[in-house]
Amino acid sequence: MSDASNWTIFVNAALINNFVLAYFLGICPFFGVSSKLETAVRMGGAVSFVMLVASVCAYSINLVLEAINAPHLRIISYILVIASTVQLVEMLIRKLSPATFRAMGIYLPLITTNCAILGLALFQTNRGYNLVQAVVFALGAGAGFALALVLMAGVREKLDLASVPDLAKGTAVAMVVAGILSMSFMGFAGLGR
């Protein structure tokens, strides 16, 4: 278990070492979904939820793996559990809110290949977080991811109305925006200590 306080873990994951803007995890959905504010919010919510579930599952699996001394099975067991979690979440959303399900379309299954979820599981294992710390970490990471996504979507919606050179339209200008967002988030360093 790590010495860091829960508050430090949360702020670190959400702001200082934001998963998207500092660790480069979750870039595919970040650029794919962030063109519309509404989809961004939904995606952020879905990813946060999956992160929470995945974090608890990863913690439990790691306990088993350590008990049977099989660290080499970590990658394959984590990714299979994440894939199943996403399937479950997909079925849940389809049942509870068909409208949301239709709006999210292809992006829901794409959460499986979202590096952020697997990255979350691996980081919490490497840093030796206990269960409470892992949950706080997941909440912080999800909040940070959603925040970055929403910020990006807001900017991109405005950019659509601006006159961007043809060459830079789409991904190139989005990258520049992401770079600037990333720099601004660096200003949070030192918060929560």
Which sign, positive or negative, has the C-alpha torsion 114, 110, 89, 70? negative
Contact status: 75 vs other proteins (CB under 8 A): yes
Nearest residue (CB) to other proteins, 63 versus 98: 63
Write the interaction track for other proteins spanning residues 104-143; mark x where CB under 8 A is met and - where it is not.
Answer: ------x-xxxx-xxx--xx--xx----------------
Minimum CB separation from other proteins for residue 61, in Å? 13
Residues 26 and 43: their CA atoms lie apart, in Å, by: 11
How far the first Cα of the chain sits from its last, in Å, is 18
Burial pattern 116-150, b for ≥16 Cβ within 10 A else e, equals bbbbbbbbbbeeebeeebbbbbbbbbbbbbbbbbb
Candidates 69, 72, 96, 106: give the one binding other proteins (CB under 8 A).
72
* Binding residues for other proteins, total number by CB under 8 A: 52
| Residue listed under structure tokens 């063109």 | 35
**Residues forming the site for other proteins (CB under 8 A):** 2-4, 8, 12, 16-17, 21-28, 31, 72-76, 79-80, 83, 110, 112-115, 117-119, 122-123, 126-127, 167-168, 171-173, 175-176, 178-180, 182-183, 186, 189-190, 193
